[in-house]
Amino acid sequence: MAETDLYAPVKRFLEAQGYVVKGEIRECDVVALRGDDPPVIVELKTGFSLQLVLQGIDRQAMSDAVYLAFPPPKRRQQSDILKLCRRLGLGVLVVSGQFVEPLADPAPYRPRADLKRKGRLLKEFAHRVGDPDAGGTARQPRMTAYRQDALRLANQLALRGAMPVARLRSETGVQRAAGILQNDVYGWFQRESRGIYALSPKGTAALETFAGAMAHLERPVTSA
């Protein structure tokens, strides 16, 4: 597919809405005019790319109505592409054969505050001890506040053997001990009897893996 293959369906799409359409006007792939409306500019590419986004941003100096047109992206990428284009005030036209589907119109970006996500962010920051993860690291376990609490419980069980939940909570200061032990997200704990937990072999291995982090884990000051 060439960029020129996208031109005819995009032109028909705009003409059906009353626009007069011409290609390659100055540096713009497509320019459409309708009465006194601001010009519509469309940039064509055979795939979504940074170059296409930069072209669209450049064309915004000439019109607020700038669209990016390209074939359908992978389904898992589409929502991220739309989020980016909406944030930049760019419209999106997806071209499938001779069919054009408008997925977003150019408009000023007005972000909606996600108070739940903000709350989780601040809570994690407040409860995480120290700064165990360098920014930008990937493909390794995150030393979250939850993992730190689980390590506190695992370390206490390694030192003292099987213990009741209430005693573990008291000696470690981990107020959510019951939930961590019952859910056992990491497979570090095993239930010996009602309300009594011990360390599993996987938990023993985890204490070795995170031995460096354990040195920085003190009794938590606040409950989680």
- Look at domain 115-214 and name its CATH class: mainly alpha
Alpha helices in 16-162 (DSSP H): 50-59, 75-88, 115-127, 145-160
Each residue's pLDDT, cut to its tens digit, for the chain (224 residues) gives: 788 889 999 999 999 999 999 888 888 999 999 999 989 999 999 999 999 999 999 999 999 999 999 999 988 899 999 999 999 999 999 999 899 999 999 987 666 767 787 777 776 676 666 655 555 555 556 778 888 899 999 999 998 899 899 999 998 889 899 999 998 988 999 888 888 999 999 899 888 888 877 766 665 544 44
Residue 157 vs residues 22, 152, 185, 194, 202: alpha-carbon distances, Å? 74, 9, 17, 16, 13
pLDDT attached to residue 16: 94
pLDDT attached to residue 109: 66
Containing H/E element for 96? strand 91-96
Q: pLDDT tens digits for 130-151? A: 655 555 555 556 778 888 899 9
**Domain 3-104, CATH among 3.40.630, 3.40.50, 2.30.110, 1.10.1760:** 3.40.50
Give me the sheet containing 20-25, strands edge to edge.
20-25, 28-33, 40-44, 65-70, 91-96, 99-104
pLDDT attached to residue 117: 77
pLDDT attached to residue 220: 52
Containing H/E element for 94? strand 91-96
Q: What does the block give as tokens for 109?
A: 């970006």
| CATH 1.10.10.10 domain locations along the chain | 115-214
pLDDT attached to residue 90: 95
pLDDT attached to residue 145: 84
d(CA 91, CA 96): 17
pLDDT attached to residue 135: 52
Containing H/E element for 133? none
pLDDT attached to residue 128: 63
| CATH 3.40.50 domain locations along the chain | 3-104
Residue 82 neighbours by CB under 8 Å, 6+ apart = 92, 103, 104
